[in-house]
Amino acid sequence: MATRFRFRLQALLKLRKSLEEEAQRRLAKEISLFREIEGRIAGLQAEHGRTLQTRRAPQGGFVDLAQWKAIDRYLLVLEHRIQTAQEERRDAEKRVQTARRALTQAHQAHLTLVRLKERRQEAHDLEALHEEIRNLDEIAVLRHRFNTQMKSLSIKEVSP
C-alpha cells in the first residue's frame, strides 16, 4: 500500500497564502485612500467653481470690495488645498503602485509553491502507480506459479 502524500513545505505554503491575502488587503486599503483623496479633490474643485460664481456681480450692480477680497482670499485657500490634495493624490498613487507590485510578488511566490506541490503530488502519484503495478505483477507471477504447481500435483495424483 502506498503512503499518503505529504507536502513538507505545507507550512510555508500557508504562510505565503496569508502573505498574499495581507497584500490584497493592503492594496484594497490604499485604493480606498486614493479614491477618498480623489473625492476630496473633486469636492474642493466644485467648491472653487461655486465660489467663482459668487464673485460675479450683477450687471450694473455694486461691487462690495470687502466681500470681493474675502472671496479672493478664500479662493487662494481653496487653490492651496487643491494643490496639497493633488500632492497627496500623487503620493497615494505611488503607494497603490507599490502595493500592486507587492501583491504581484506575493502571488507569484504563492503560485511557485502551489506548482511545486502539484509537481510533487504528480510524482508521488506516479510512484504509487508504479508500486501498485509492481505488486500486481508479483501477484500475477505468484498466482501463475501456484496454478502450475497445482496442475502438476493434480496430474501426479491422478496417474498411478
Q: Using DSSP, state whether 9 is helix, strand or coil.
A: coil
- Residue 58 is predicted with a pLDDT of 72
Residue 142 resides in a domain: no
- CB count within 10 Å of CB 96 equals 19
- Residue 156 is predicted with a pLDDT of 61
Contact 99, 20 (CB under 8 A): no
Residue 63 resides in a domain: yes
Residue 156 resides in a domain: no
The count of structural domains within the chain is 1
Write the pLDDT tens digit of every residue in 39-73: 999 999 999 999 988 887 777 777 778 888 999 99
User: Residues 76-94: what's their mean pLDDT?
Assistant: 97
- Residue 101 is predicted with a pLDDT of 97
The CA distances from residue 111 to 18, 35, 125, in Å, are 13, 30, 21
In terms of residue numbers, what domain contains 110?
Answer: 10-120
Rounded to 5 degrees, φ, ψ at 101 are -65, -40
- pLDDT band at residue 158 using 50, 70 and 90 as cut-offs: low
Q: 106: which 3 cell numbers?
A: 506575493
- Residue 60 is predicted with a pLDDT of 74
- Residue 66 is predicted with a pLDDT of 87
CATH code at position 45: 1.10.287
CA angle 66, 71, 76 (to 5 degrees): 125
pTM given for the model: 0.73
Given a cut of 60, whether residue 157 has pLDDT beyond it is no
User: Residues 4-31: what's their mean pLDDT?
Assistant: 95
Given a cut of 60, whether residue 1 has pLDDT beyond it is no
Residue 20 resides in a domain: yes
Residue 47 resides in a domain: yes
CA separation for the pair 29, 21 (Å, rounded): 12
Write the pLDDT tens digit of every residue in 108-122: 999 999 999 999 999
Lowest mean pLDDT, pick from 26-30, 51-55, 155-159: 155-159
Q: Using DSSP, state whether 55 is helix, strand or coil.
A: coil
